[in-house]
Structure 1
Amino acid sequence: MEARTLACVGCHGDKGRGVANVYFPRLAGKPSGYLYNQLIAFQEGRRRYAPMNYLLAYLPPAYLKQMADYFAAQSPDPIPIAAPSAPPAIIAQGQQIVTKGLPDKKIPACTTCHGATLTGREPGIPGLLGLRTDYVSAQLGAWRYGTRTALAPDCMQLIASTLSEPEVAAVSSYLATLPVPANDKPAAAANTPLPMGCGSQSPHLAAGAKP
């Protein structure tokens, strides 16, 4: 599989461990269920980025699952954390949203789904650490404007479209200040329900079956 995924190296780094480009995320260590769901989303056009749409167009689901398992098994390299680029008040606002949510807008804290340490949760929720401000902002923007979607109910589209532009900037800025812990493995699957419906977390998707 390492040889078969050489086309991924230019954007995602050796074994998916990341590159310097702020818009390309690392894949190593993310939950296999999440990676599989995203590969299917690119293949079906629910995520729109022409190179990915083209590369995945004709690969069978079983092969995509093997790719997801391969990248999930890799250990990501540590990513240097840059000095905060936003004012302290913006960072504090982002911390409030990430850890407490926005009750007046019925937006749950990021930690309720992505884990108390924000390292993600099995089988299909990604970690939010080791991501740059521009990448997080771009993904929230993609959900806001429909270029990234998930199966209904699309919880992240609802959350992103409810956040204001300054709130998106605050969340993105705060997350980029957080270091990646030594143990950055996703948390085990929890028996407690998510705070809102989320179609991408359907059990059959996490198990690797094509919807």
Structure 2
Amino acid sequence: MIRLLRPLLPLGLGAALAASAWAATPEAPVPATGAGGMPQRVLACVTCHGKEGRATPDGYFPRIAGKPAGYLYNQLLNFRDGRRSYPQMSYLIEHLTDDYLREIAGHFASLELPYPPPPAPQAPPAVLEQGRLLVQQGDAARQIPACVQCHGQAMTGVVPAIPGLLGLPRDYLNSQLGAWATGQRRAQSPDCMARVARQLTPGDVSAVSAWLAAQPVPAGGKPAARLTAALPLPCGGVPADAVAH
């Protein structure tokens, strides 16, 4: 069974969360801030997601630096509005406005930071090959599209709203695919990832996450400007003009 991890609240984060939540209440609305003020505003974010959003070695908190702004914004909305469930995140942003969430997303999306080399493969060659085939070719007989059809041929995502899948810990990839399959993670309707995840077996998930986690991140991880073909499934949160026709 795929298990969702629930780390304890890090020391000092509670105060940062409380300060952020207080600052965004109707009685004390958060003012618009320029780029210079955002590093202070997002201190609670980097406590978990690592310095400048680079991620941390514990394998659960994902990198958010350099991800497409539309994707980050959608995820903040999903946490705030209950489609994703993680108490620390929900408490942090429950009072923040749409505009302020866009500022946070834009801040992290603008960061161009190097990726570390990938860890050594954590699965035997046959499992890695199974993962590679699913990522690059999918499985038409089981109605599983290739990951590259949505996330880009380089797997670095597509602006404005599709994330890259490289440079993420294997544990995180496993847990999120499991969360979609079980309904613990949801997105705007139509939820294409939930539909795909439910078609994957536990073996598929293990193979895909092992292969993805072992790949180097090309071109600094920059997302592609747009898709080169139409999405294989309708996906909520992806603007129509981001899809090639």
TM-score range, shorter-chain basis? over 0.9
- Whether contact under 8 Å (1:26, 1:76) holds in the other structure is no
Match of 2:114 in 1: 77
Deviations 1:97-144 (CA, angstroms, capped at 9, x unpaired)? 000001101111000110000000011000011011111000000101
Provide, for residues 128-182 of structure 1, a one-character-per-residue CA deviation record: whole Å limited to 9, x for no partner.
1101111100000010111110111110000001101100110000001100124
Unmatched 5+ stretches in structure 1: 207-211
Matches within 5 A, 1:102-113: 102-113=139-150
Query: Per chain length, whose mean CA-contact separation is higher, i.e. which structure has more relative contact order (CA < 8 Å, sep 6+)?
Result: 1
Is the counterpart of residue 163 in structure 1 residue 200 in structure 2?
Answer: yes
TM-score normalized by the length of structure 2:
0.81
Q: Is contact 2:113-2:220 (8 Å) kept? A: no
Indicate conservation of the 8 Å contact 2:49/2:64, yes or no.
Answer: yes
Kindly report the root-mean-square deviation, in angstroms, between the aligned alpha carbons of the 2 structures.
1.5
Gap regions ≥5 residues in structure 2? 1-37
Shift of 1:192: 3.5
1:96 is the counterpart of 2:133: yes
1:8 match: 45
1:13-32 aligned at under 5 Å gives the runs 13-32=50-69
Determine the structure 2 residue equivalent to 1:209: none
Correspondent of 1:34 among 64, 71, 86: 71
Q: Within the alignment, does 1:148 sit opposite 2:181 as a pair? A: no
2:108 is matched by which residue type in structure 1?
F
Contact map agreement 1:36 1:65 (CA 8 A) in 2: yes
1:82 Cα deviation (Å)? Answer: 1.4
SS of the aligned residue for 1:201 comes to: coil
Count of residue pairs the alignment pairs up: 205
Larger gyration radius, structure 1 or structure 2? 2
* Larger displacement relative to structure 2 (95-104 or 77-86): 77-86
Structure 2 residue 83 is the aligned partner of structure 1 residue 46:
yes
SS at match of 1:162: coil
Percent identity, please: 50
